[in-house]
Amino acid sequence: ISRPLCATRLAYHLPCNSWNSCFCGSDLETQLAAARKKASDALPGSSWSPFEANPNLPPERADIVIVGGGVVGWSIAYWLKQKERVREGVRVLVVEKDLTYSQASTVLSAGGIRQQFSLPENIHLSLASAHFMRNINEHLGVLNEDPVDLQFNHSGYLFLATEKAAHIMEENYSTQRKAGAEVSLLSPDQLRGKFPWINTDGVALASYGLQNEGWFDPWTLLNAFRRKAISMGAIQCCGEVTDFKYTTKRILTSNGDEMDLRRIKSVKVQLPGSLQYQPVECAIVVNAAGASSARLTEMLGVGYGGDAAGTQLPVEPRKRYVYVVHCPDGPGLDTPFVIDYSGVYFRREGLGGNYIAGTSPEEGEEPDASNLEVDHQFFEDKVWPSLAHRVPAFEKLKVTSAWAGFYDYNTFDQNAIIGTHPLVTNMYFATGFSGHGLQHAPAAGRSVAELILDGNFTTLDLSGLDFRRILAREPMLERNIV
Amino acid sequence: MSAAFMSLRRCCQRSALLAVAKRPWSSSPAPSPPLHTRFLLFLAQRFYDVEMLLSWGHRQKRMAIHRRNAYYGYTKNLYGADIAAAFYVLSLKGGFRYVGQSEWFRADRRGKFNWDFLNHKDTLLEEVNMSHTVINSGGLGNLEGQTSLRTLSLRGCPEVDDWFLAGLHVFQDSLKELDISHCPRITVGGLAALRNLKGLRRLDVSSLPKVSSPGLVVLLLEEMLPQCQIVATGYDHSLGQFGGGEVEGQREVREATDCVRKEGVL
């Protein structure tokens, strides 16, 4: 006997002896709908599964895995998504171990950008990044969201040089002008005229940036890149890369040496504070891990054995302190980012008479890089005397706050390493910026994306920053490191 | 019994297929929604297409401004840099005055202008008025060779931002008067770049919406440019929520040499 159901369009044939007196109209409807859903879930082709999966796990397969979610990592993710020719052409996964960014170099940096370098590649990277930030809403604006406001202060950088270093500064000046940077040289008299609060004792020459130099908010830039990349389909994962699965091929070089060529097959991403992990099969891995980049190459087994295979990634974390001082009689709105020849730097912060100051320690006196504790004695011993000597108003100041951050310091030649490793065919490096990662991030991200998707550099030629120079022991020294 | 189970199995299979293939709202017995709701639901289903169309529209507007501020290289090659700069100013519906001349060449509201300016070859521009035009930092490149530029008025220009102000350093020797009032994109970071204009004698920074503490900023600007007269009207300096007395809403023009202040700021 069949009983038609009035609630649905079709009639179902049901044996009435099993469904007798218990149901009235609407109850029967909902329960039948639930039964229908259960039945369709149980059949193959539905997305229901009896096992609960952790939604925070990364996908099982990705085309490109970017290890490191700082400004360089997200810049690469953005440019990869920008350059893909079809929608969802590349699946990009960005793995970041700490989403609060408590130890990330990006957010702890002083946020300056300058073109006053000695290496033309660095000047071009900074200039391209400045042009990117000029039109940042064109690049990183998302529909219906607030426009990006970097809070860029266009106050320029001021480098001071002694008699002995003046010729280096002049050489650098001509390199910078040739590359297109707007820089001007000042004599001590002109310096005093422009900045009356400076004490020009010992200064023979000064170099002042007129355009495209200053400082901005790094957190805003990081979030702008992240928001735009995610809106274009990049996937973010909170986890740590703990292992690689790779295949090894033994090859013979022209000298007759045997080398191990490695190819990464999958990345093991471990969730924070848990034993759960996900092996992500990938085609390309980008090492944008900043201060902890060397840990990744160690996992690959690169750096042991003889000769070229024995070259480790020469990037290590170096701790740098930043002190916030308050000086009500200090220099005014026009204070540039001043860098003294002794290495001490300071810049204005806000409008309330606050300044940010710091210096790089000597080579032999590097502080312990295992934590981010601040040494306040360092300020009194190394920073304050030079500050007070250079700007007499800084005799009376008060340290209101301080923090420490890591430089991903390239111990070989303090310049970025951008490119593949000769022995690991599918790992791309974008690390070792030694304090310039933030200001080079937009342009370096674009170059790495070109390298991955186009096969070679198209806009900027950064082949000089390849890993080969480390194997060949030919350093590309940058003379203007702060 | 077996026949009953067969029919139950058949109905479950059929309902399973339908449950998977069914459209969400077509099985409801309610009458179909009105046209505008159906249209919005149609658009909501095509989210990425709508997003693409809207961003395309925004990009077209930006490209149009970019094209208007393009480099007038062709005019420069044919007529020289000064005529090119003059032509650029007139094309953007601005006005200018040559060095040594007293008449102004302007474009009217519809963009029509007198071509007599071509008669004065190789004469630099002395005063340029680009108020309420779409000039941006790219367009500033067209005015770069004007070493005698004395007055620049950029009142109410929507595309003038901090990067534009940083680019004004090319006029550092000659520029005496600058008017950047009512520009919606200027902030304190750009005002700091004005320190390079050492010849500046008059600066108008009235009604800049993005400057958050205008009183303090004007004081700092005066300290930065001691020989410059700063005009900053249109700001409300009242203390409001702090319960202090109401103060004058208007700031008056002050002479840099005059130490006595004429407003009622607490």
ipTM of the complex: 0.86
DSSP A236: E
The whole-angstrom distance between A148's CA and the closest CA on chain B is: 12
Backbone phi, then psi, for A58, in 5-degree steps? -70, 165
Q: Which residues of A touch B (CB under 8 A)?
A: 8-10, 12-15, 17-18, 35-37, 39-40, 43, 45-46, 87, 134, 138, 143, 151-156, 182, 194, 210-212, 214, 332-334, 351
Which of A14, A36, A151 shows the shortest C-beta gap to B189?
A151
Q: Are A467 and A429 in contact (CB under 8 A)?
A: yes
Tokens 């920008």: give the residue.
Answer: A82
Decide if A211 and B167 are in contact by the 8 Å CB cutoff.
Answer: yes
Cα–Cα distance for residue pair A218/A111, rounded to 1 Å: 6
Decide if A333 and B224 are in contact by the 8 Å CB cutoff.
Answer: yes
A389-398 residue pLDDT tens: 999 999 999 9
Cα–Cα distance for residue pair B119/B142, rounded to 1 Å: 20
Cα–Cα distance for residue pair A357/A304, rounded to 1 Å: 40
Tokens 């700092």: give the residue.
Answer: B220
Question: Which tokens sit at A31?
Answer: 């329960």
What is the residue-averaged pLDDT of chain A? 90
B73-103 residue pLDDT tens: 999 999 999 999 999 999 999 999 999 989 9
Rg (CA), chain A: 29
Tokens 């973010």: give the residue.
Answer: A236
Tokens 């410059």: give the residue.
Answer: B228
Helix (H, G, I), strand (E, B) or coil at A472: coil
DSSP lists the bridge partners of residue A208 as A158, A184
For B187, nearest residue in chain A (alpha carbons): A151
Cα–Cα distance for residue pair A186/B118, rounded to 1 Å: 40
The whole-angstrom distance between B79's CA and the closest CA on chain A is: 27
For A39, nearest residue in chain B (alpha carbons): B16
| Residues of chain A with confidence (pLDDT) below 70 | 1-25, 303-310, 480-482
Cα–Cα distance for residue pair A154/A150, rounded to 1 Å: 11
Q: Are A249 and A263 in contact (CB under 8 A)?
A: yes
Question: Which tokens sit at B239?
Answer: 């203390």
Decide if A143 and B196 are in contact by the 8 Å CB cutoff.
Answer: no
The whole-angstrom distance between A132's CA and the closest CA on chain B is: 12
Which of B8, B163, B198 shows the shortest C-beta gap to A134?
B163
The whole-angstrom distance between B38's CA and the closest CA on chain A is: 22
A336-361 residue pLDDT tens: 999 999 999 999 999 999 999 999 88
Decide if A17 and B169 are in contact by the 8 Å CB cutoff.
Answer: no
Q: At what angle do helices B35-45 and B47-68 cross, to 10 degrees?
A: 80
Q: Are A465 and A416 in contact (CB under 8 A)?
A: yes
Tokens 């109905």: give the residue.
Answer: B11
Which of B51, B192, B223 shows the shortest C-beta gap to A153?
B192
Q: What is the pLDDT of residue A260?
A: 86
Cα A170 off chain centre by: 32
Cα A233 off chain centre by: 19
The whole-angstrom distance between B60's CA and the closest CA on chain A is: 11
Decide if B224 and A332 are in contact by the 8 Å CB cutoff.
Answer: yes
Which of A138, A154, A210 shows the shortest C-beta gap to B189?
A154
Q: Are A382 and A359 in contact (CB under 8 A)?
A: yes
| Per-position DSSP letters for A93-105, written without gaps between them | EEEES-TT-SS-T
For B218, nearest residue in chain A (alpha carbons): A333
Residue B10: list chain A partners with CB under 8 A. Answer: 13
A423-469 residue pLDDT tens: 899 999 999 999 999 999 999 999 999 999 999 999 999 999 999 89
Polymer length in residues for chain A: 482
Residue B62: list chain A partners with CB under 8 A. Answer: 138
Q: Are A204 and A161 in contact (CB under 8 A)?
A: yes
Q: What is the pLDDT of residue A422?
A: 86
Decide if B189 and A36 are in contact by the 8 Å CB cutoff.
Answer: no
What residue ranges in A366-431 does DSSP mark as E strands?
398-410, 417-420, 427-431
The whole-angstrom distance between A332's CA and the closest CA on chain B is: 7
Decide if B16 and A211 are in contact by the 8 Å CB cutoff.
Answer: no
Decide if B16 and A8 are in contact by the 8 Å CB cutoff.
Answer: no
Q: Are B181 and B158 in contact (CB under 8 A)?
A: no
A192-223 residue pLDDT tens: 999 999 999 999 999 999 999 999 999 999 99
The whole-angstrom distance between A207's CA and the closest CA on chain B is: 14
Q: What is the pLDDT of residue A232?
A: 94
Residue B196: list chain A partners with CB under 8 A. Answer: 210
Which of B19, B48, B221 shows the shortest C-beta gap to A333?
B221
Which of A46, A134, A333 shows the shortest C-beta gap to B192?
A333
Cα–Cα distance for residue pair A220/A152, rounded to 1 Å: 11
Q: What is the pLDDT of residue A401?
A: 95
| Angle ∠(A195,B153,B232) on CA atoms, nearest 5 | 65
Cα–Cα distance for residue pair B253/B76, rounded to 1 Å: 40
Q: Are A147 and A137 in contact (CB under 8 A)?
A: yes
Cα–Cα distance for residue pair A112/A156, rounded to 1 Å: 9
Q: Are B225 and B195 in contact (CB under 8 A)?
A: yes
Q: Residue A285 belongs to what H/E stretch? A: strand A284-287
Amino acid in position A459: T
Q: What percentage of chain A's residues is helix, strand, coil (to nearest 5)?
A: 30, 25, 45
Decide if B188 and A153 are in contact by the 8 Å CB cutoff.
Answer: yes
Q: What is the pLDDT of residue A173?
A: 95
Q: Are A157 and A339 in contact (CB under 8 A)?
A: yes
Q: What is the dihedral of CA A228, A230, A233, A238, to 10 degrees?
A: 150
Tokens 């310049």: give the residue.
Answer: A415
Burial A301-316 (b: 16+ CB within 10 A, else e): bbeeeeebbebebbbb
Decide if B20 and A211 are in contact by the 8 Å CB cutoff.
Answer: no
Burial A270-297 (b: 16+ CB within 10 A, else e): bbeeeeebbbbebbbbbbbbbbbbbbbb
| Residue B1 CB burial class (10 angstroms; 0-12, 13-18, ≥19) | exposed
Decide if A36 and B19 are in contact by the 8 Å CB cutoff.
Answer: yes
Backbone phi, then psi, for B43, in 5-degree steps? -65, -40
Q: What is the pLDDT of residue A304?
A: 55
Listed residue (A185, A162, A159) closest to A480, CA to CA: A159
Which of A10, A154, A182 shows the shortest C-beta gap to B162?
A154
For A357, A379, A387, B56, the CA distances from A349, given in Å and listed in that order, are: 10, 18, 16, 38
What pTM was estimated for this model as a whole? 0.85
Residue B20: list chain A partners with CB under 8 A. Answer: 40, 45-46
Which of B15, B19, B169 shows the shortest C-beta gap to A210?
B169
Backbone phi, then psi, for B48, in 5-degree steps? -70, -30
* Non-local CB neighbours of A73 within 8 Å, separated by 6+ positions: A66, A67, A94, A96, A286, A288, A289, A430
Residue B165: list chain A partners with CB under 8 A. Answer: 154
Decide if B224 and A351 are in contact by the 8 Å CB cutoff.
Answer: no
Which of A10, A138, A152 shows the shortest C-beta gap to B162?
A152
Amino acid in position A437: G
DSSP B34: P
Amino acid in position A447: S
Cα–Cα distance for residue pair A172/A209, rounded to 1 Å: 13
DSSP B83: H
Q: What is the pLDDT of residue A8?
A: 45
Most B CBs within 10 Å, among A228, A333, A337, to test the B interface: A333
A101-104: Cβ within 8 A, 24+ apart: A101/A70, A101/A222, A103/A372, A103/A405, A103/A406, A104/A69, A104/A70, A104/A290
Tokens 């990869």: give the residue.
Answer: A80
Task: Kindly give the residue spans of alpha helices, DSSP state H, lying in A180-244.
Answer: 188-194, 218-231
Decide if A134 and B54 are in contact by the 8 Å CB cutoff.
Answer: no
Q: What is the pLDDT of residue A6?
A: 46
Rg (CA), chain B: 30
Cα–Cα distance for residue pair A18/A3, rounded to 1 Å: 12
Which of A13, A40, A182 shows the shortest C-beta gap to B16?
A40
Question: Which tokens sit at A33?
Answer: 């709908």
Decide if A351 and B192 are in contact by the 8 Å CB cutoff.
Answer: no
The tens place of each residue's pLDDT in chain B, 266 residues long, gives 566 667 777 766 766 655 444 455 556 667 788 999 999 999 999 998 999 999 999 999 999 999 999 999 999 999 999 999 999 999 999 999 999 989 999 999 888 998 988 988 889 999 999 999 999 999 999 998 899 999 999 999 999 999 999 999 999 999 999 999 999 999 999 999 999 998 999 999 999 999 988 999 999 999 999 999 999 988 887 765 554 433 343 343 444 334 334 334 33
Size of interface A-B (CB pairs under 8 A): 95
Most A CBs within 10 Å, among B1, B54, B195, to test the A interface: B195
Question: Which tokens sit at A370?
Answer: 């295992």
Cα–Cα distance for residue pair B20/A353, rounded to 1 Å: 66
Cα–Cα distance for residue pair A181/A118, rounded to 1 Å: 12
Q: Are B206 and B232 in contact (CB under 8 A)?
A: yes
Cα–Cα distance for residue pair B149/B97, rounded to 1 Å: 10
